[in-house]
Amino acid sequence: MAEPPVDVDGAPVPRRTRAEQRDASRQRLLDAAFECIVELGYSGASTLVIAQRAGVSSGALFNHFPTKDDLLCATVHDLYVRFTGELNPTLLTEASTSERPVERIVDILWDALQSPPMQALYELFAAARTNAHLRAELSAVEPENAEAIFAFTRVLFPEAADWPGLRGLMGLVLSSLQGAAVSTLAFGPGFDLTEAKAALVRAVEGALAEAAAWAEAGRPEVAGG
């Protein structure tokens, strides 16, 4: 009879419940899907390849996710959790202590939007053009991600927190940086966007100066805002 497992101190390790085992198996599949999409792209990340990477049978995969679309939709949520989990603490701790917080935020987002979780999401963005289930999932989750970044922006720049143009400004920043990230990933590090990034920083700093002036003027109503 096999000896019960023990930890490094020799104490017995509690056996995992079936629910815990199921959750662990599901997470292995999500981890494998993430890795396969980054390494092989959307088209190369078949359910067979993902199951093999996770160390489970195809039957076990479909027991968790009845279709590939179900797996990919769950992966979308998992990727956003990875992305925001790494990004949000960094935004607060680094940007709030920087002498040029706007430049630091743009640098942080610049790097984060080229990270492996985002690389996988860009693959799924492209696939969503012809996949209605994936498109619906991304359409539901992407605004939540943007809203989280917007909330942090309001904390970092309290003088602009209620400025009517702030949400549109952050939408422009995220859209610009995502487009730049896709271009950099597609064409490689030789695709130089240094000047474009500097121009974006200047534009945001100018807009925040406008927001500060608006606040100092007693927050007048903005036409069309």
Can you give 28-49 as a three-state secondary structure string?
HHHHHHHHHHHHHHHHHCCHHH
Q: CA 149, CA 158: separation in Å to the nearest integer?
A: 14
Tokens of 32: 């494998």
Phi-psi category of 219—alpha, beta or left, where left has phi over 0 and alpha has psi -120 to 50? Answer: left
Q: Which amino acid is at 80?
A: Y
Whether residue 138 is predicted with pLDDT greater than 80 in this model: the reply is: yes
Which range, of 19-23, 82-86, 182-186, averages the lowest pLDDT?
82-86
pLDDT of the residue at 51: 97
| Nearest-angstrom CA–CA distance, 71 and 127 | 14
pLDDT, tens digit (0-9, with 9 covering 90-100), for 142-197: 888 888 888 888 888 888 999 999 999 999 999 999 999 998 888 887 778 889 99
Which pLDDT score is estimated for 224? 53
Instruction: Give the type of residue at 163.
Output: W
DSSP codes joined into one string, the chain: -PPPPB-TTSPBPPPPPHHHHHHHHHHHHHHHHHHHHHHHHHHH--HHHHHHHHT--HHHHHHH-SSHHHHHHHHHHHHHHHHHHHHHHHIIIIITT-SSHHHHHHHHHHHHTTSHHHHHHHHHHHHHTS-HHHHHHHHHHHHHHHHHHHHHHHHH-GGGTT-TTHHHHHHHHHHHHHHHHHHHHHH-TTS--HHHHHHHHHHHHHHHHHHHHHHHTT-PPPTT-
**Alpha carbon 141 to chain centroid, angstroms:** 10
Tens digit of pLDDT for each residue in 99-131? 898 999 899 888 889 999 999 999 999 999 999
Q: Which residue type does 165 have?
A: G
Q: Which two tokens stand for residue 81?
A: 């959790």
* Residue 11 token pair: 């104490």
Handedness of CA 33, 36, 41, 45 (dihedral sign): negative
Q: How far is CA 127 from the centre of its chain?
A: 17
Domain architecture of the chain: domains with CATH: 17-66 (1.10.10.60), 68-216 (1.10.357)
Quick one: pLDDT at residue 1?
Answer: 47
